[in-house]
């Protein structure tokens, strides 16, 4: 065991997979010589050479398109979008090609690509370096979207994503890169995609969330613990397709559900979670299902005070938690 940051765990996962399977390669803007703008691919070009760690032109559609083509021919590409905000030029490739090829070709072709992208705000990044884009892809059957909340999860899930036979979008919270640290097993542990995890048991309120917000939720829950309010925290880990069974169990357990995301509220991942709860848990509900999310504003503002207002934090969660507990 060694203490790794979230980003070190991600590097570690890619390194191990590249060592084990020579078909695995990474491509993206500045992933090679520079080692990535966040240093996620640091050291890989030295170990695996420029044939397997490819610096690409500034063309996200090409990064996705090249990766998709290579994947269909049997390679295991791990494509990096420098920021999730920049994935937009590649949306056509991802949704129209990667997501649909298995279905369209009646199983003759499939596309085992991983597209990694740092998302999220709170880093003073402004409009184009702070977005959460998961909801854009979360109604495209054929895609999987993984958003880990801890270094261990990041490592285990990225390895699983690379070994997955179908396209996986892997969104990493950039503020979590160096904020989150923990002991990460050196073993070749694979975490199954599609399974949520109970991060904390409690009986008063259930929080269902994912990504960095899991961390905030844990802080808020800890604070209320001393007041006798115990919180169940479910980390979705895979936000598409959702782990319905785990969501139903967690919501039914307390009957009071708080859903948290950093993304804009309407049409977000947690909106879908809410729908699942309403379809399955009516007679266990003790309070209206609540969504705590960013306001309906196009993107994370640049001004620090507005960014703070927009960004999720433990205080906002604590306030809602307290209110729901007393309902």
Partner 1 sequence: MATEAIYMPQLGESVTEGTISQWLVKEGDYIEKYDPIAEVMTDKVNAEVPSTFSGYIKEIISKENDTVEVGTLICYIDTNEEASGASPIVHDPQNQTTEETNEQDQSMKHRYSPAVMRIAQENNIDLSTVQGTGKHGRITRKDMEHVVQQPKTNTDKAPNETDATDISKEEAIEEYTPPTFKRRSIEANPGDREIPVTGLRRTIAQNMVRSTTEIPHAWMMIEVDVTNLVAYRNAEKDRFKENEGYNLSYFAFFLNAVAKALKKFPELNSCWAGDKIIQRNDINLSVAVAHGHELYVPVIKNVDEKSIKGIAKEIHQLSQKARTNTLTTEDMEGGTFTVNNTGSFGSVESMGVINYPQSAILQVESIVKRPVIIDDMFAARDMVNLCLSLDHRVLDGVICGDFMSHVKSILENISSETTPIY
Catalytic residues: 129
Q: Give yes or no for residue 282 binding partner 1 (CB under 8 A).
A: yes
Side-chain half-sphere CA neighbours of 147 within 13 A: 32
Q: CA dihedral defined by 114, 158, 299, 207, rounded to 10 degrees?
A: 140
Q: Which of 37, 287, 302, 316 binds partner 1 (CB under 8 A)?
A: 287
Which of 287, 262, 238 shows the shortest CA–CA distance to 274? Answer: 287
How many positions of this chain bind partner 1 (CB under 8 A)?
Answer: 13
Phi/psi of residue 199, nearest 5 degrees: -90, -20
Q: Give yes or no for residue 22 binding partner 1 (CB under 8 A).
A: no
Q: Which of 178, 203, 267, 303 binds partner 1 (CB under 8 A)?
A: 203
Least Å distance, CB 205 to partner 1, is: 11
Least Å distance, CB 307 to partner 1, is: 13
Q: Using CB under 8 A as the criterion, what x/- string covers residues 205-244 for binding partner 1?
A: ----------------------------------------
Q: Give yes or no for residue 204 binding partner 1 (CB under 8 A).
A: yes
Q: Give yes or no for residue 189 binding partner 1 (CB under 8 A).
A: no
Q: Which residues contact 60 (CB under 8 A, 6 or more apart)?
A: 81, 86, 87, 88, 89, 90
Q: Give yes or no for residue 126 binding partner 1 (CB under 8 A).
A: no
Least Å distance, CB 278 to partner 1, is: 11
Q: Which of 69, 126, 255, 271 binds partner 1 (CB under 8 A)?
A: 255
- Looking at 27-35, 111-119, 165-173, 249-257, which segment touches partner 1 (CB under 8 A)? 249-257
Q: Which of 283, 296, 298, 304 binds partner 1 (CB under 8 A)?
A: 283
Residues in contact with partner 1 by the rule CB under 8 A:
203-204, 254-256, 282-287, 326-327
């Amino acid at each position: 065991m060694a203490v790794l940051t979230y980003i070190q765990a991600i590097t570690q996962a890619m390194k191990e997979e590249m060592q084990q399977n020579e078909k695995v390669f990474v491509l993206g803007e500045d992933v090679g010589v520079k080692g990535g703008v966040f240093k996620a691919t640091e050291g890989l070009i030295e170990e695996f050479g420029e044939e397997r760690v490819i610096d690409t032109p500034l063309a996200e559609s090409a990064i996705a398109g090249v990766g998709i083509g290579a994947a269909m021919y049997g390679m295991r590409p791990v494509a990096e979008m420098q920021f999730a905000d920049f994935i937009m030029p590649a949306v056509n490739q991802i949704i129209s090609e990667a997501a649909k090829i298995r279905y369209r070709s009646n199983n003759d072709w499939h596309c085992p690509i991983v597209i990694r992208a740092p998302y999220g705000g709170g880093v003073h990044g402004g409009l184009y370096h702070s977005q959460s884009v998961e909801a854009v892809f979360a109604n495209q059957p054929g895609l999987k979207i993984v958003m880990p909340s801890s270094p261990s999860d990041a490592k285990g899930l990225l390895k699983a994503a690379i070994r997955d036979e179908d396209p996986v979008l892997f969104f990493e919270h950039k503020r979590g890169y160096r904020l989150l640290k923990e002991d990460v097993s050196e073993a070749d542990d694979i975490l199954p995609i599609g399974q949520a995890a109970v991060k904390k048991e409690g009986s008063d309120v259930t929080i269902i969330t994912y990504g960095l917000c899991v961390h905030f939720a844990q802080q808020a829950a800890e604070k209320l613990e001393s007041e006798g309010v115990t919180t169940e925290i479910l980390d979705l880990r895979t936000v598409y397709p959702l782990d319905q069974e785990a969501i139903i169990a967690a919501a039914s357990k307390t009957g009071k559900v708080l859903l948290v995301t950093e993304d804009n509220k309407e049409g977000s991942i947690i909106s879908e979670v809410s729908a699942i709860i309403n379809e399955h848990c009516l007679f266990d509900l003790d309070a209206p299902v609540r969504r705590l999310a960013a306001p309906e504003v196009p993107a994370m503002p640049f001004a620090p005070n507005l960014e703070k207002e927009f960004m999720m934090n433990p205080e906002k969660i604590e306030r809602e938690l307290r209110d729901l507990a007393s309902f």
